[in-house]
Amino acid sequence: MARSLLGLGTFSTLILNSTDVLFKTTYESISFCDPLGLSLYCIFDNLLVGKLISIAFLILIISGWRPVITGILHWWVMYSFTNSAVVLDGGDHIASIITLLLVPITLTDNRKWHWNKPKLKPTNTWFGVKSLIGLSSVLVIKIQVSIIYLNSAAAKLSVREWTDGTAIYYWFKHPVFGYPNWLDAILEPLILNGTILFIISWGTIIFEFILFSGL
């Protein structure tokens, strides 16, 4: 389920945005490549080809087909995107890291679909090895994510707009990350309400601390 949701997020980004938006260029190829030269957008030297291949891979990933194969493909898609696209946010980088940390798990997953239950019995030696690898990878992912939320929550406490409860207003009005103008009639009365803003702003900080403590 987690892999499908991660894949769906990137799939939506690629489907809903053109290459000139994602890569901030009107040319067919980008003028720079990742240090390893592994990006799909560099190997094929054509942004559209790289994008279409990424979308095809993501469809397989979302479907849950052959984790042992699509686990590596998922990391490749995310590595390519985060090292080639210009329009990125923290979530894209986090997804790239998580897909890498999931590779050890997927390499030991021989199911045809990741929705199916494992066929190995608990007494099987290979089951024990897979469990150790899986639990270790999941623990690393949990630590990584918990640190992200702790850092995010702690950083907000040093920003005046977050502590006085007005940060959400500025984010909603942000020209890039804010909501579209046609939602003004619905949302503006809410974000002009000081009490609602304060609850949302501090609710976000508290929720992030709770997520950190969930490790």
- Looking at the fold, whether 14 and 106 belong to one and the same domain comes out as yes
Residues 108, 11: one domain?
yes
Give pLDDT, residue 121: 64
Confidence band, pLDDT 50/70/90 cuts, at residue 128: confident
Task: List the domain range (segments joined by +) for residue 150.
Answer: 120-215
Whether residues 183 and 109 fall in one domain: no
pLDDT of residue 214: 83
Dihedral of the alpha carbons of 19, 8, 79, 43, in degrees to the nearest 10: -50
Better-predicted residue by pLDDT, 106 or 131: 106
Specify the pLDDT at position 32.
66
pLDDT at 29: 64
Q: Cα(155)–Cα(205) distance, rounded to whole angstroms?
A: 10
215 pLDDT band (50/70/90 cuts)? confident
| Cα distance between the two ends of the chain | 19
Q: Report residue 27's pLDDT band, with 50, 70 and 90 as the boundaries.
A: low
Same-domain pairing of 137 and 105 = no
Mean of per-residue pLDDT scores for the chain: 89
53, pLDDT greater than 90 = yes
Q: Are 61 and 7 in contact (CB under 8 A)?
A: yes
> CA 159, CA 154: separation in Å to the nearest integer?
10
Domain stop point among 53, 88, 117: 117
Claim to verify: residue 137 and residue 88 sit in the same structural domain: no
pTM: 0.81
Residues 198 and 125 occupy one common structural domain: yes
Whether 42 and 106 map to the same domain: the answer is yes
Q: How confident is the model at residue 108 (pLDDT cuts 50, 70, 90)?
A: confident
pLDDT at 133: 87
Residue 106 has pLDDT above 80, yes or no: yes
Q: What percent of the chain has pLDDT over 70?
A: 94
Compute the distance between CA of residue 20 and CA of residue 30 in angstroms, rounded to an integer: 10
Kindly tell me if the per-residue pLDDT of 166 is higher than 70.
yes
For 208, list phi and psi in degrees, rounded to 5: -65, -40
% of the chain beyond a pLDDT of 90: 59
